[in-house]
């Protein structure tokens, strides 16, 4: 299960500089995420994401968030023809939820993936992701909170919502 928290960032360079001394830089990429749900799935209990980036495309199945919007089961599958799959899904009862375009700088620290995301029409965020099960979720979230604070993030900037929710809230304003 993917367990993550994110925070809004006023100074992305300061976060990148802090990460340069603590974490391994894994690269920077442009990502274009296209989220879909089946038209009958009003509760969004299963979301599909087609992620396109320079190194290839992925199809991700995301189950309904467990508790608040910080953890959910997910599976990634490499794609060879993302455009045709997207058209097939849109013609088969799936509807677009949202598109998210971002520039992502990725880092690794211990068991955590840390991303600094510059998201078109939303802002800049740092996102820390760990993996675990429901039993260990609270402990992993606590470690993520501690990492965010060590990067200079204030508690009031920590967000317990995913990018899809944030983007949907932004578009309804």
Report pLDDT digits (tens) over 49-65. Answer: 999 999 999 999 987 76
Q: What is the CATH number of the domain that holds 11?
A: 2.40.320.10
Q: Of the candidates 78, 34, 36, which has an alpha carbon nearest to the alpha carbon of residue 55?
A: 78
Confidence of residue 85 (pLDDT cuts 50, 70, 90): very high
- Give the chain's domain count: 1
SS3 121: coil
What are the backbone dihedrals phi and psi of residue 96, each rounded to the nearest 5 degrees, phi first? -70, 135
Q: What integer pLDDT is reported at residue 69 of this predicted model?
A: 62
Range of the domain at 56: 2-171
Q: Say what the pLDDT of residue 86 is.
A: 97
How much is the mean pLDDT over the chain? 91
Give the per-residue pLDDT at 93. 95
**Residue 77 to residues 31, 38, 58, 121, Cα–Cα distance (Å):** 16, 19, 6, 28
């Amino acid at each position: 299960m993917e367990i993550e928290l994110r925070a809004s960032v006023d100074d992305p360079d300061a976060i990148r500089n802090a990460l340069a001394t603590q974490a391994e830089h894994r690269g920077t990429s442009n990502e274009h995420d296209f989220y879909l749900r089946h038209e009958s799935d009003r509760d969004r209990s299963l979301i599909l994401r087609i992620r396109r980036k320079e190194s290839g495309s992925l199809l991700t199945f995301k189950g309904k968030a467990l508790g608040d919007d910080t953890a959910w089961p997910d599976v990634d599958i490499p794609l060879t023809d993302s455009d045709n799959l997207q058209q097939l899904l849109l013609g088969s009862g799936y509807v677009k939820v949202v598109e998210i375009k971002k520039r992502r700088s990725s880092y690794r620290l211990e068991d955590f993936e840390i991303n600094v995301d510059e998201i078109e029409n939303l802002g800049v965020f740092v996102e820390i992701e760990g993996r675990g099960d429901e039993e260990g979720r609270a402990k992993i979230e606590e470690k993520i909170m501690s990492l965010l604070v060590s990067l200079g993030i204030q508690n009031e900037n920590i967000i317990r919502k995913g990018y899809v929710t944030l983007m949907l809230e932004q578009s309804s304003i």
